Amino acid sequence: METQDYRLYKYRWVILAVFMFINLTIQVLWIGFAPITGPAAQYYGVTDLQIGFLAMTFMIAFIPLSIPVSWAIDTYGYRKTVGLGAILMAVFGVMRGLVGTNYTLVLISTIGIAVAQPFLLNAWTTVPAKWFNVEFRATAVGLVTLANLVGTALGMVLTPILIESMPIPQVQLIYGILAAFSSLLFLIFSRETPPTPPCPAGMEVRALMLDGLKNAVKNRMFWYYLAVSFIGMGLFNGMTTWVEAIIRPRGFTPTDAGTLGALMLIGGTIGAVVLPPFSDKSHKRKRFLLLGVLAAIPGLIGVTFAQSLWLLDVSAFVMGFFITSISPIGMQYAAEITQPTPEGTSNGLIQLFGQASVVFVYIMEATKAPDGSFTPALLIMVGLLLVSAVLITQLKDPEYLKKAEQHE
């Protein structure tokens, strides 16, 4: 008879909560300028592109840092590595508020925050793998995604409202203090592993980082999913970075932009809570990935052409619900098909490709129509979502999930 030398601890919810909080606050710092691109450009005396670059910096910094950070997570543990990122976020987040009247110093501080981001994002699958059973891991990643989206939504909604009653630097200082508080909670309450594993023997086995990296890059389906992630993150980052500029030519205001961005993220938040549990329960990943990509297309078309605010908002909600909610399912799928590659490694590669989608952010701005419209770029994104759907049809659900079914 098989003995059960594994168990779940209630403290896992504390671990997940403090990890979610730091992921929430770094997103507020990331997106804090996007919904006020026009007013911020006027305040600093710079161009829209220079304000957009404050968000793009996060994606650019991620590219060289992702693999080394993944190695550090897998080698030294997530608590030390994420803790370092949390400290960087706190220091530079507060600094950005204190020097917030000078664009150059704001940019330097933003680079410091951007350096911290991969330390947080690349542990998304590591934390659930160390504290949760396999049946709940995609859901746990979904909850981290939820925190990530809530942070972005808060930055979208609150920033246009706050700058009506206080200067931009003061708003950024408030965000920095919030980030510092979340970092302190993580440093106090985080733990590396529970006393005993959260799953049966064999389900937690992982290779060394370099061996795992070799294993992952040899997996054809993993490359297909990386391409899907690249496109999906390109759409998400492009929409959030240029949200105000996208709808400005149609006569919408920065407050409308904040509402649109928030509804897109609220949709993604709800989807990240609703869809992953169905995926976990059915032990299926492919069908949910395909559903998300295809169902996001009508929403994107609506955002591209809608002239009325209600249709614009509904379209943004639909697009966000489907395209964002498949991210946690996809991350868990990648961790499963690349066994025994460490979660930090597979997660890091996905985040790397996702952040490399900064090229889409730049192309979207460069391909604007003469009247400032982003319609050409958004139509290109519709085509790329169709390409993603074709790639997903080539995927197969992992054999790894069959083990979970045997333990139900």
pLDDT at residue 205, rounded to an integer: 44
Residue type, 326: I
In a domain, 116, yes or no: yes
In a domain, 5, yes or no: no
Residue type, 246: I
pLDDT at residue 143, rounded to an integer: 82
The three-point CA angle 133-215-200 to 5° equals: 20
pLDDT at residue 379, rounded to an integer: 92
CATH code assigned at 263: 1.20.1250.20
pLDDT at residue 162, rounded to an integer: 94
In a domain, 377, yes or no: yes
In a domain, 3, yes or no: no
pLDDT at residue 215, rounded to an integer: 67
Residue (of 145, 75, 47) closest to 345 by Cα position = 75
- SS3 string, 355-381, reads HCCHHHHHHHHHCCCCCCCCHHHHHHH
In a domain, 7, yes or no: no
Domains identified in the chain, total number: 1
pLDDT at residue 347, rounded to an integer: 67
**Token pair 């693999």 in the structure block, residue:** 67
Residue (of 121, 159, 150) closest to 32 by Cα position = 159
d(CA 246, CA 373): 7
pLDDT at residue 3, rounded to an integer: 45
d(CA 171, CA 101): 11
What is the residue-level pLDDT of the chain in tens, covering all 408 positions? 344 576 777 898 999 999 999 999 999 999 899 888 889 999 999 998 899 899 889 988 888 898 889 889 888 989 999 999 999 999 999 999 999 999 999 999 999 999 999 999 888 778 888 888 766 776 787 788 778 878 988 898 899 899 999 999 999 999 999 999 999 999 999 998 887 766 665 555 454 455 566 667 777 888 888 889 889 888 888 888 788 888 888 888 888 888 888 888 888 878 877 888 888 787 788 889 999 999 999 999 999 998 899 999 999 999 999 987 788 788 778 878 777 766 666 666 777 777 777 777 778 888 888 877 888 989 999 999 999 999 999 988 776 555 555 555
Q: Are 25 and 89 in contact (CB under 8 A)?
A: yes
Angle between the N-to-C axes of helices 220-241 and 254-282, in degrees from 0 to 180, rounded to the nearest 10: 160
In a domain, 291, yes or no: yes
- 131 is in which domain, residue-wise? 12-406
In a domain, 6, yes or no: no
Asked if omega into 194 is within 30° of 0 (cis), the reply is no
pLDDT at residue 207, rounded to an integer: 43
